[in-house]
Amino acid sequence: MDTAFTMARYEALLRADFAGFAHRAFCELNPRACFAMNWHFEVMAAKLAAVREGRSGRLIVNVPPRHLKSHLASVAFPAWCLGHDPSLQILCVSYAQDLADKLARDCRRIMTSDWYQRLFPTRLSPQRQAVPEFETTAQGYRLATSVGGVLTGRGADIIIIDDPLKPEEALSQAQRQAANEWFDHTLYSRLNDKRKGAIVLIMHRLHEDDLVGHVLAQEAWEVVCYPAIAEEDETHLIETALETRRVTRSRGQALHAEREPLDMLEQIRRTIGEYNFAGQYQQAPTPQGGGMVKAAWFKSYAANERPAEFDRIVQSWDTANKASELSDFSVCTSWGIQGKDLYLLHVLRRRMEYPELKRIVRDQRDAFAAEVVLIEDKASGTQLIQELVAEGLHAVTRYQPQADKIMRMHAQTAMIENGFVHLPKEAAWLAEYLHELTAFPDRSRARSGARAARAAIGHGAEARYPSAVVISPRSRTDSLDASTGGPAVLRAVLRSSVDDSSCPITALSPRGRGVRADAKRSFGTPRFSDPVPIVDHPCNKRIDEQRECLRRLVAALVVEVVTRVRRAPIVNHPLEAALGEMRRRHVLRHVGQAEPAECRIGVRVRVPPSAS
């Protein structure tokens, strides 16, 4: 009798207290894990219970990753609600359908468990038990979809939005806007009863204009925010069917010290960077004291601390379309690269008409003896590149960004934060330059200087991490194992295969994108731009000596590579050495053709045009 009475009381507790129910559901789904109860779990459970009871219609919960937000909101909460009201219609949204389906399977597993069915009379309909949507015998359902999904003809009493964006997607304005517009135009209208229906948005913050920032600008929401490290003293009220109590947290305390103590959080901060930590863990998308880049991250150097020589000097240009007062500045940043460190040498910032811009590009290149001059290939930059290359300035390199400016800057923040970027202690342009960088992307002036910095720092980072040499017969990518001495062997082969001393090989490929042999002649400087087929080069007319030099280089490389492949393993390639002979015959058959570029070898050689 006592045992039955105790079990009955326990089951009544699970029905009445959502925190207890969620705890039991966690044990069902994770039988080997130890559940560590914490006050934040109880607060979130109490807020969700208030949604079911109709006391809260718009709820936002911001918590760091791995703090059971998805278990509470997308798994346990729908099961608990459908247990109390089998006719309830619940719509659950996540950033991807795979994640939405995984959470749906967990919820269905809870609802089909023996202990759940002892608690509630709710049963799933045998006619509809699909993962994305399962129904009860009372025509209630849990429908799982992803952001952007089609919801025509579907409605819900409760809408739960659990992580509508991935962290990398939140950096893209297009992705954020798509999620926000889908909420406005599709999801918001799906409530069956606009007066009584509820929407729950639970996520960690990713950007000032993420879905949380977007909806707060439209209407009033109840917001529950838990930074991983308290930034001020906090007091939280826990209201359940069993009790009402208050919990406090002092400034500087961890949210759940038993699982993530302060030293671990500091390690996470160092690993993912201040910008990511401020959003995902502190729920403050813009770090205190700066935007994506903080001034304190930069190292500084005095004039007497500047290296005497650099491995390479790179200039990056961001060109404006016009020189009008309202247009952007044209900006050139000059960088010295030494090992893993980048030193900013000079910043030129001026509004210029095209003829002056063209002249200044030459002057800046000569002033710093820059080996690489990066110019973005759009607007005025396209014409500038074409004319400078035609006039023999072979250091000019096309730069074509592959992502939007915020994502490109974000890719470089870890390098800056780790102290690899050095600024001079004193310079006339330093204050304005720092202002632009630290204001990015929130200030209209954080434009040209930031763009030029992104291009140059990105180029320097690529040059610092060369990977194993890569060859590519017939456009395939075969990576020689670095342990075979591949890079050294191929470098020696390239140097010895060209007996013309005016054409030494000066560079190999970074990041395994193919051997890039940049030809350097007495009248030019090395090219580091992305290679294009020789037949597409703007200076297509080349003298016979240049073509013969290239032909000998390609032939010698192919012969040596095939020999090396027979003796050494190929990394990450299914073909064995037996195919080497077939490729060798195919490649050498094409070497003698009129245009060496038609030989589909991954050796990318940029031969500058004749000085004449």
Contacts of 1 (CB under 8 A, 6+ apart): none
Determine which helix (DSSP H) or strand (DSSP E) holds 492, and give its type and residue range.
Answer: helix 486-497
For the segment 482-490, the average pLDDT, to the nearest whole number, is 37
- The per-residue pLDDT for 334 is 94
- The per-residue pLDDT for 440 is 73
Instruction: Tell me which residue has tokens 């966690």.
Output: 26
The pLDDT tens digits of the residues spanning 6-52 come to 888 888 889 999 999 999 999 999 998 888 899 999 999 999 999 99
First CA to last CA across the chain, in angstroms? 105
- Record the tokens describing residue 156, joined without a space: 């819900």
CA nearest 523: which of 541, 507, 546?
Answer: 546
Name the residue with higher pLDDT: 453 or 333. 333
Instruction: Tell me which residue has tokens 């923040």.
Output: 413
CA distance 435 to 294: 10
CA 474 vs CA 105, 491, 583, 601: distances in Å: 46, 21, 8, 6
Determine which helix (DSSP H) or strand (DSSP E) holds 471, and give its type and residue range.
Answer: strand 470-471
CA distance 233 to 213: 24
Residue length of the chain: 612
pLDDT of residue 540 exceeding 50: no
DSSP state of 324: S
Instruction: Find the range with the poorest average confidence among 173-187, 321-335, 373-387, 453-467.
Output: 453-467
Q: What 3-state DSSP class applies to 516?
A: strand
Band (311; pLDDT cuts 50, 70, 90): very high
Q: Are 346 and 426 in contact (CB under 8 A)?
A: no
- Record the tokens describing residue 162, joined without a space: 């659990």
Instruction: Find the range with the poorest average confidence among 240-249, 337-346, 422-431, 569-578.
Output: 569-578
Output phi, psi for 120, to 5 deg. -130, 150
Band (345; pLDDT cuts 50, 70, 90): very high
Q: At what angle do helices 354-368 and 380-390 cross, to 10 degrees?
A: 60
Query: Computed over its alpha carbons, how large is the radius of gyration of the chain?
Result: 31
The pLDDT tens digits of the residues spanning 193-217 come to 988 999 999 999 988 889 999 999 8
Q: Are 330 and 319 in contact (CB under 8 A)?
A: yes
List, as one string, the DSSP characters of 332-348: EEEEEEETTEEEEEEEE
The pLDDT tens digits of the residues spanning 87-119 come to 999 999 999 999 999 999 999 999 999 999 999
- The per-residue pLDDT for 301 is 93
Average pLDDT, the chain: 76
Band (442; pLDDT cuts 50, 70, 90): low
- The per-residue pLDDT for 27 is 93
CA distance 61 to 594: 67
Question: What is the CA 184 to chain-centroid distance, rounded?
Answer: 26
- The per-residue pLDDT for 494 is 39
CA distance 471 to 115: 61
pLDDT of residue 351 exceeding 60: yes
Contacts of 142 (CB under 8 A, 6+ apart): 78, 82, 90, 92, 104, 107, 108, 133, 134
Query: What are the residue ranges of helices labelled H in 261-379?
Result: 262-272, 274-280, 354-368
Band (433; pLDDT cuts 50, 70, 90): confident
Name the residue with higher pLDDT: 418 or 187. 187
- The per-residue pLDDT for 548 is 62
CATH class of 295-462: alpha beta
- Record the tokens describing residue 485, joined without a space: 């001495």
pLDDT of residue 605 exceeding 90: no
Band (376; pLDDT cuts 50, 70, 90): confident
- The per-residue pLDDT for 30 is 93
Q: Where are the domains of the chain?
A: 2-227+261-267, 295-462, 470-606
List, as one string, the DSSP characters of 199-239: EEEEE----TTSHHHHHHTTS--EEEE--SB-SS-EEEEEE
Instruction: Tell me which residue has tokens 């939280």.
Output: 236
CA distance 253 to 262: 8
CA distance 451 to 453: 5
CA angle 591, 597, 603 (to 5 degrees): 85
pTM of the model: 0.54
Rounded percentage of the chain residues whose pLDDT exceeds 70:
69
Band (476; pLDDT cuts 50, 70, 90): very low
- Record the tokens describing residue 312, joined without a space: 């390479």
Question: What is the CA 88 to chain-centroid distance, rounded?
Answer: 38
- Record the tokens describing residue 545, joined without a space: 């000596």
Contacts of 218 (CB under 8 A, 6+ apart): none
Band (399; pLDDT cuts 50, 70, 90): confident
Band (132; pLDDT cuts 50, 70, 90): confident
Fold of 2-227+261-267: Rossmann fold (3.40.50)
pLDDT of residue 352 exceeding 70: yes
pLDDT of residue 581 exceeding 60: no
Output phi, psi for 372, to 5 deg. -130, 130
In this structure, the strands spanning 58-62 and 222-225 are parallel
